[in-house]
Amino acid sequence: MIKKISDKDKEDWENFLKNKQKIPNKKFLQKKDIRGKKTIEILEKDKQDWENFIKNKEKIPNKDFVNKKNIRQEKIKKIDLHGYTIEEANKAVEQFIQKSLDENVTKIIVITGKGLRSKNVQNPYLSRDLSILKYSVPEFIENNKNLTRVIIETTDAKIEDGGSGAFYIYLKNKFKIK
């Protein structure tokens, strides 16, 4: 499709070309692009900067390998509570969290089990859910102010770490606890 230029457009273009002012004091190099179709104008200063950069022997640090001081290395510990009573499990978890905090552990995997073989289920005087470690240990942690102060969050575990019979505890950095 060929479009004809109107007389007014042609006149405007010619006026533009006549009035176009060149930028003083800037030396441009003309260079063709890879395909040889376009002409690219490069400032002489830019060319000189590029050449200086190439000649410089200093290496640019790779940002992927720079040691980042603000990031803690992930350190994971596990505790298995199979066979513990509720009181024993709560005490063990509290001690384990404090010990892990001192060792600068970032993530704890708490394995409680699913409670399928719990003998407490048959006792009519006990709560069916709260008598099972799977429910009582997270409840204990949430209600313990000393523990909630050092914990970022608790989440369900992935299937490879125990699935519904386990959960994660993410600990704060011991140097940043107020």
25-52 pLDDT per residue, tens: 445 555 555 565 555 566 677 777 878 8
Spatial distance between the Cα atoms of 50 and 43, rounded to a whole number of angstroms: 11
The whole-number average pLDDT for the span 78-100 is 90
pTM of the model: 0.55
* pLDDT tens, residue by residue, 107-164: 999 998 776 555 555 554 444 444 578 888 989 999 999 899 999 999 999 998 888 8
pLDDT at 92 over 60: yes
pLDDT-based confidence at residue 176 (cuts at 50, 70, 90): confident
Per the rule left: phi > 0, alpha: psi between -120 and 50, beta: everything else, 131 is: alpha
pLDDT of residue 23: 44
Pairing of strands 107-111, 76-80: parallel
- What are phi and psi for residue 59, nearest 5 degrees? -90, 145
CB atoms < 10 A from the CB of 47, how many?
14
Of the pLDDT bands very low, low, confident and very high (cuts 50, 70, 90), residue 167 is very high
Question: For residue 116, what pLDDT is reported?
Answer: 59
- What are the residues whose beta carbons fall under 8 Å from the beta carbon of 133, sequence distance 6 or more? 81, 84, 86, 89, 112, 113, 115
- Which pLDDT score is estimated for 127? 43
Using 50, 70 and 90 to split pLDDT, how confident is the model at 61? Answer: low
